[in-house]
Amino acid sequence: MLKIAVIGNYATQFLLKPLKKQFHSIDVEFYQSEFNSIDMEFIDRNSNLYSFDPDFIIWHESTLGLRDVFYQSQITDRPEFATKYITRINSYLSTVSALLPKCKVLFPNHSLRFLDNIFGNFSSKVTISWDFQIQKINQLLNEASIDAQNLYLLETTPATRENFITDYSMVVNAELHFTPQYLDWISGKIKQTINAFHGSFKKCVILDLDNTLWGGIIGDDGLENIHIGSLGIGKAFTRFQKWLKELKQRGIILAVCSKNEDSIAKSPFLEHPEMILKLDDIAIFTANWNSKADNINNIQKVLNIGFDSMVFIDDNPAEREIVRNHLPKVTVPELPVDPANYLPYLISLNLFETISHSANDAERTKQYQQEAKRAELSATITNMDDYLKSLDMKARITELSEVNIERVAQLTQRSNQFNLRTKRYTAADVANICKNPNYLTATVEIEDKFGNYGLISVVIIEIKDNQAMIDNWIMSCRVLKRNVEHALMNYLVEKLTTTNIHQMTGEYIPTEKNALVANLLSDLGMKTTDTNQYSLILSEYNFNQHFIRINP
């Protein structure tokens, strides 16, 4: 069961109602603190908050309420108002980290819709002004979120109008600081963030071309007459492409799905001087006259990610409806008619929530392009052993280290199918495991003749009472059917044997998405001891065959 605590400096029962609505289909238990009791909840180590033992704390403070506190402060204290505020927050975060080490704190930052303009634009030079201090608070919150591994900020300012956030008649008459519409909106952002912690986020954007990436129809209008660049409506498509390029740099996969002749569809990417996106930015390029739903099916097979991880962007309402009907798990935004509104609309949806980022993300497009080449090769070889030998695979297996903490954490968060116990780890969790002598860890990097997969698997084993318990086994689906798990099991048995461990145990925890590993442990030679429970006497292990050179 998911456990969520809600605390704030206002009547948080009005936030709790839309939150329950957001999580209505999930088994969730909520805890709500007493009115404006933040300090006592955090300071008292025997408080109901700590007894509740939440997975997430929603710590939501009213900016309007904070402004009232600022106005009550002495002028001489105001230059340090932001610093003292953050010191208080950091102190509470440290206590939470000590008493609730697995708990994540989600903190909506302070909306800049509540500037008071007492000093006008001169406020940037006046440290005693509210406008100066509240902007400093948000900057210090950003810095605190880097240092405090349990703090995750939610952006609130993009709520476009102040009266969307607050209705002052409601503040005066009932001390209600937020409108129902705003609380619905922020509840949605909270749900998106918690979903990301549980491995549910978007990984791929599938793009139409004509009147989506450029204005006009390339097959009819020709290269010289499509709209892209610095003139007229072409500016809208250029800005849209720049945003897509940034998504690609962040690690979102870009794919093309167009009804067109392949050579004609590719010509703008190859020949138009003002195209921002190039063919190298596209992981999979599909241009033919087949149904787009069928083509998206094929793209999914190559990428081996869930349909619920995909976003399909197309200007044609009929094509959008076809994809919605045939592939209901794919997210299909209802793109505005005016291309000038494509980008602001898509940004407002906040489709690409994430809780991690690593240097490996920028390489993701190249890795999927290489995977497409592997798929082409596999289609020409009928014998699987011959295919695996032809890949010339090499694996580097090492223990978990500070160098790959971020990537390992990300792998645990992103992997849903090959995830034995579906345990999610933050970077702080992984760092603690890395330092703990009671854990044996193994990370795997794979390369073959087409390129480097990067770090694609991690196994975490807890050593207790001379037994090895598999805490989790995770692998990227990009390397399925390569026998990586067999090579890794061989390595683990050898490693454990040298440390005088004689038995390994494991557990499969089923979810809606990880049926792929239901038989993993038995396939690797472990014996069933109970429902989803497994054991192996290491001396009885039969080493598995594979075609991977280990640590060459």
Rounded to the nearest 10 degrees, what angle do helices 427-435 and 405-414 cross at? 120
Report the side by side order of strands in the sheet with 503-507: 527-530, 533-537, 503-507, 467-475, 451-464, 439-448, 393-398, 548-550
Contact 354, 196 (CB under 8 A): yes
Nearest CA among 321, 327, 318 for reference residue 294: 327
Residue 143 CB partners (closer than 8 Å, separation 6+): none
Contact 444, 456 (CB under 8 A): yes
Q: Is 243 left (phi over 0), alpha (psi -120 to 50) or beta?
A: alpha
Confidence of residue 388 (pLDDT cuts 50, 70, 90): confident
| Tens digit of each residue's pLDDT (9 = 90 or more) over 398-457 | 999 888 888 898 888 888 889 999 988 888 889 889 989 999 999 999 998 888 888 989
Query: What was the pLDDT predicted at 460?
Result: 95
* Cα–Cα distance measured from residue 5 to residue 57, given in angstroms and rounded to the nearest whole number: 5
Q: What is the mean pLDDT of residues 466-485?
A: 88
| Tens digit of each residue's pLDDT (9 = 90 or more) over 198-254 | 878 899 999 999 999 999 999 888 898 899 998 889 999 999 999 999 999 888 999
Q: Where are the beta strands (DSSP E) in 21-139?
A: 28-32, 56-60, 104-108
6 strand-pairing partners: 32, 58
Query: What was the pLDDT predicted at 358?
Result: 67
Domain ranges of the chain: 2-197, 204-349, 380-550
Q: What is the CATH number of domain 204-349?
A: 3.40.50.1000
Query: What was the pLDDT predicted at 304?
Result: 82
Can you read off the two tokens belonging to residue 195? Answer: 């979903």
The pTM of this model reads 0.71
| Tens digit of each residue's pLDDT (9 = 90 or more) over 102-119 | 899 999 999 888 889 999
Q: 3.40.50.300, 3.40.190.10, 3.40.50.1110, 3.90.120.10: which CATH number matches 2-197?
A: 3.40.50.1110
At residue 292, what are phi and psi to the nearest 5 degrees? -65, -30
Query: What was the pLDDT predicted at 379?
Result: 67
The mean pLDDT of the chain is 90
Nearest CA among 364, 262, 358, 269 for reference residue 309: 364
Q: What is the mean pLDDT of residues 345-364?
A: 78
Q: What is the mean pLDDT of residues 506-530?
A: 92
Least reliable range by pLDDT among 95-99, 104-108, 156-160, 342-346:
156-160
Q: Could you count the other beta carbons within 10 Å of the beta carbon of residue 531?
A: 7
Residue 135 CB partners (closer than 8 Å, separation 6+): 112
Asked if the domains at 2-197 and 204-349 fall in one CATH topology, the answer is yes
At residue 425, what are phi and psi to the nearest 5 degrees? -125, 135
Nearest CA among 306, 302, 193 for reference residue 257: 302
| Tens digit of each residue's pLDDT (9 = 90 or more) over 500-511 | 888 999 999 998
Nearest CA among 471, 481, 407, 416 for reference residue 444: 407
Q: What is the CATH number of domain 380-550?
A: 3.40.630.30
Can you read off the two tokens belonging to residue 245? Answer: 């390029």
Q: What is the mean pLDDT of residues 481-508?
A: 91
* Cα–Cα distance measured from residue 236 to residue 219, given in angstroms and rounded to the nearest whole number: 21
Q: Check pLDDT > 70 for residue 163.
A: no
429 strand-pairing partners: none
Q: What is the mean pLDDT of residues 299-326?
A: 92
Q: Could you count the other beta carbons within 10 Å of the beta carbon of residue 414?
A: 21
Higher pLDDT, 452 or 331: 331
* Cα–Cα distance measured from residue 121 to residue 127, given in angstroms and rounded to the nearest whole number: 13
- At 31 the three-state DSSP class reads strand
